[in-house]
A and B are shown apart, each in its own frame.
Chain A
């Protein structure tokens, strides 16, 4: 947003100060409209339901990338734990989806019995259905609120938020910074994933939660329609989050967190409570990630601990770096571009390259390409794809003389 800050007045509505916000929202709205018109659910049926789901999931990934950009690109905290918060959000909503749907099935099967079932019998039946696969037949304590949608929705926000708050407080308080913090967040992610892999974690071990694409009580609604609902929901969440993030990074608050990124000690000496700022950003982005996860997994249909493994968070950093750190649209572009490209390459649609002696099959070699291009981006284009926009606007404003497009100092 640096160019915006230089050229626009600090007063006036947010939209006026940040023309890129308007552009983004318009593009997002047009995209949503276009997909809706072309989709099977309401329109011409040119986009298959599964592709609508892929697009919806991509929007959720853009959302979590936005959070990652805020915490890393703006505040300088390279968190390798945001996909854990994403996963927690998915688990929280998945618990309700699974519980409510199983409850309907169990209630139906018990309705035929001679006596009307008691509440305890229904609960026992649901527990057997859900936990039979890990050899248990009782609800673990963490499922205490699974029957209630509002409470689980609150958990989507509160659990990642609280975890981030406690973890961040511990870490920032003892001045763990830089790579140490990255390794620590990665360790947290690994610990969570390992914990969830156990069968007695209460969340079905490595089976994870499944059947999340079926909304309880809405079996009659075709998936084509449901997929569009979630697509709209994801687009709405992304739009709102983008506006919110734009607001957060603008003004004095935004200046302080960018200053923390560039020189933490100096900000502390100026009298700012660096820890409080960092803690706020860390927690806020964790909540965003949780919400993104809660929208993502009903579209994916299944969640298991492998989704939380440290590598997922690394990929998140890869997306943001390729898209361009320190600019919100960069994160969105990076996540959208790389994850769609990944889907294309790993889906077997990309043509193989025949080198004569060896045929490159992209299913196998895409990850290698991704890893190496990540190295190349880090080395040669720290601004990522977003840097291209800088080049364009620099050319447009070449006659205006020097302006503030110097690369942000890296730390």
Chain B
């Protein structure tokens, strides 16, 4: 039928192609539909317009979308004589009018013959909602996705029907799933029947999506109410015993006062105001003002005022008790009908349980990533302090030097990937050289005098920090990660981890492997172990202890430099960044057990897990977490002074 009408319309246009005042097809279904609602469209009032828009949206006519769009854009006009609707744009005083049904130009008319329809913003919003169904069925998948985004942002009841109509014909599997999910969410929010809503709610049991919780939470909202008799109805969520956390006796009584069911209680401010109002000749109701410096004296004065009728008598404790005893306080559901609320509550509980599990998983990921940062910061120390027993307080400054090397490289090499690849060996080279220089100039004079080493390296640390400050300023410098490290690996709405943290974790593992390889599988490692165990014996076997010490120290420092690049990607590069890690690094090595790389790994894990655990208990406060972490380490050392993995026998005496 439609096809035929369309054909007729085309024929009409074809027959009269040249007529400047081409007759408009008044019989076209779209025009008829418009005429049916012509009056309310013309009236253009938000209150009455709904049937017209609904009729257009539900008509199933191909032109309906165009009509709605033109209308929304204020391009729909109505002929004042015939009452027919056209669309067109105004140029000066003329209107180029087009027919809705055929899309053909009818002709140019003086604008005064037509009346422009100017829907207000409220009506435009309603039209927009009606248009959604067309967008949801748009041929372009991007347009459909955009429409879904818009609904997710700001859903309206009208969207539900539109969405339901749009699921069946969806070709894209991903979009279809999204539409179906959104349809269920909207069902929960806007559907009429409780059974339908409850079914949708129960379908979401165990779903971790933030949108589900955002939809369900408003449904289980309760408010505190009271009644004379014990309430008994489905809307009662639970009865409240006064004095518990939800409702104190004081607040309960204030509710009664607000409902004007009880006389107000006397609070300190009201008492004060009443007393001040009644001061005369330095007295209040015969009591000297100067003596009113305690609450008890003020109570007595107020009682006298009340006796004289100058102030309202305050509610006594007995009155308050009686008033409260008369009533039962309870919580009732206000977000939805009771059955829906109960269903939502049970689903929410099932979700909460799953959320807790996932949060633990997320926390574990965080802890692992923090542990790998500590491990990275500490691994250089595991070599210089753990193997060589040289306590290097400037270790943190080597980390800083590595980070600044990365920053300087990025100044010259704009490609972030390339610059990081360049920065890593350069940072190693710079800090290796610094480490060797430091060992040659300072540390080798101080072997077997650990306290002196500690002091001298402190001096170097102070100097290096200040030099960095003088060169680079106190402002934090950025070390930008390459684009492919941006973003996060998202498992679901709760569990996610950023790629930088994964990279740091991988780097920590690589370092562990490198350390094990160098110490256990290379000539250098063998010689290092020999020199550490017995330098004189090693020397008599043809090993040059000086050279080995120099290389080992350089190796440890170089690793600190690479760690600096990694840490700089994750945190800001400042002259004090090394100092931020030095105490934690030493803690890590000491807790783990000096001289054992596995101990360092365990120490880093323990410190990381503990700190994240405390942060989880008190999320707003990372300072507190660090404080408790340090206290924990101090206590831990009480029980295992030599760390988790303690060296035994002769090696422990070194």
Contact = CB atoms under 8 A, between A and B. Distances in A.
A214 interface: no
A171 to B, nearest CB: 8
A293 B432 CA distance: 42
B652 to A, nearest CB: 12
Nearest to B452: A378
B463 to A, nearest CB: 3
Contacts of B465: 367
B387 to A, nearest CB: 15
Interface in A261-311: 310-311
B268 to A, nearest CB: 8
A371 interface: yes
B324 to A, nearest CB: 26
Contacts of A396: none
A115 B289 contact: yes
Interface string A160-176: 00000001001001111
B413 interface: no
Interface stretch (A85-93, A139-147, A189-197, A348-356): A189-197
Contacts of A135: none
Given A178-B450, A190-B630, A371 B463 contact: yes
A370 B455 CA distance: 13
A178 B391 CA distance: 11
A115 B293 CA distance: 7
A344 B631 CA distance: 38
Nearest to B271: A115
Interface of B is mostly: helix
Interface string B264-280: 00000000100110010
Contacts of A78: 451, 454-455
A179 B470 contact: no
Nearest to B393: A314
A390 interface: no
A195 B638 CA distance: 21
Nearest to A310: B583
Interface in B622-654: 623-624, 626-627, 630-631, 633-635, 637-639, 641
Contact of B459 (A119, A170, A371, A410): A371
Contacts of A175: 641
Contact of A198 (B391, B454, B621): B621
A187 interface: yes
Contacts of B451: 76, 78, 178-179, 182, 410-411
A241 B276 CA distance: 57
Q: How large is the interface on B (under 10, 10 to 19, 20 to 34, 35 or more residues)?
A: 35 or more
Given A184-B637, A186-B583, A191-B627, A379 B462 contact: no
A117 B275 CA distance: 13
Given A371-B461, A379-B446, A117 B293 contact: yes
Contacts of B623: 194-195, 197-198
A216 interface: no
A101 B291 CA distance: 25
Contacts of A371: 458-464, 466
B294 interface: yes
Contacts of B635: 170
B436 to A, nearest CB: 16
Contact of B630 (A174, A188, A368): A188
B295 interface: yes
A365 interface: yes
Contacts of A367: 462-463, 465-466
Interface in A86-120: 114-120
Interface in B216-266: none
Nearest to A183: B586
B624 A198 contact: yes
Contacts of A195: 623-624, 627
B456 A375 contact: yes
B455 A374 contact: yes
B347 interface: no
B399 to A, nearest CB: 16
A3 interface: no
A195 to B, nearest CB: 5
A180 interface: yes
Given A116-B292, A174-B641, A411-B451, A375 B459 contact: yes
A365 B470 contact: yes
Contacts of A372: 459-460, 463
A379 B455 CA distance: 10
Question: Which of A176, A371, A382 is the most central at the interface, judged by chain B CB atoms within 10 Å of its CB?
Answer: A371
B626 A314 contact: no
A364 B214 CA distance: 55
Contact of B641 (A176, A317, A375, A379): A176
Contact of A375 (B291, B391, B442, B450): B442
Overall SS of chain A's interface: helix
A180 B591 CA distance: 11
B301 to A, nearest CB: 10
Contacts of A374: 455-456, 458-459, 462
Contacts of B517: none
Contacts of B449: 410-411
A379 B634 contact: no
B283 to A, nearest CB: 12
A176 to B, nearest CB: 6
Contacts of A212: none
B445 interface: yes
Contacts of A184: 634, 637
Contacts of A188: 630, 634
A133 B460 CA distance: 38
A204 to B, nearest CB: 14
Given A116-B289, A371-B466, A191 B590 contact: no
Contact of B279 (A114, A178, A370, A410): A114
A170 B461 CA distance: 29
Interface string B176-217: 000000000000000000000000000000000000000000
B290 interface: yes
Nearest to A113: B276
Contacts of B442: 375, 379
Interface in B524-565: none
B644 to A, nearest CB: 15
Contacts of A170: 634-635, 638
A321 interface: yes
B467 A368 contact: yes
B459 A318 contact: yes
Interface centre among A175, A188, A375 (most CB of B within 10 A): A375
B469 interface: yes
A182 B630 contact: no
A142 to B, nearest CB: 15
B294 to A, nearest CB: 6
A181 to B, nearest CB: 10
B76 interface: no
Contacts of A187: 583, 586-587, 630, 633-634
A120 B297 CA distance: 14
B637 A174 contact: yes
B304 to A, nearest CB: 15
Interface string B452-487: 101110111111111101100000000000000000
21 contacts: A114-B276, A114-B279, A174-B641, A179-B451, A180-B637, A182-B454, A191-B634, A194-B623, A198-B621, A314-B462, A364-B470, A367-B463, A367-B466, A370-B462, A371-B462, A374-B455, A374-B458, A375-B456, A378-B459, A410-B452, A411-B449
Interface of A: 76, 78, 114-120, 167, 170, 173-176, 178-180, 182-184, 186-188, 190-191, 194-195, 197-198, 200, 310-311, 314, 317-318, 321, 364-365, 367-368, 370-375, 378-379, 382, 410-411
What 3 A-B pairs are tightest by C-beta distance, nearest first?
A371-B463, A374-B459, A371-B462
Given A170-B638, A364-B466, 18 more contacts: A78-B454, A116-B290, A116-B293, A167-B634, A173-B638, A187-B583, A187-B630, A191-B626, A198-B621, A365-B470, A367-B462, A371-B461, A371-B464, A374-B462, A375-B459, A378-B459, A379-B445, A411-B449
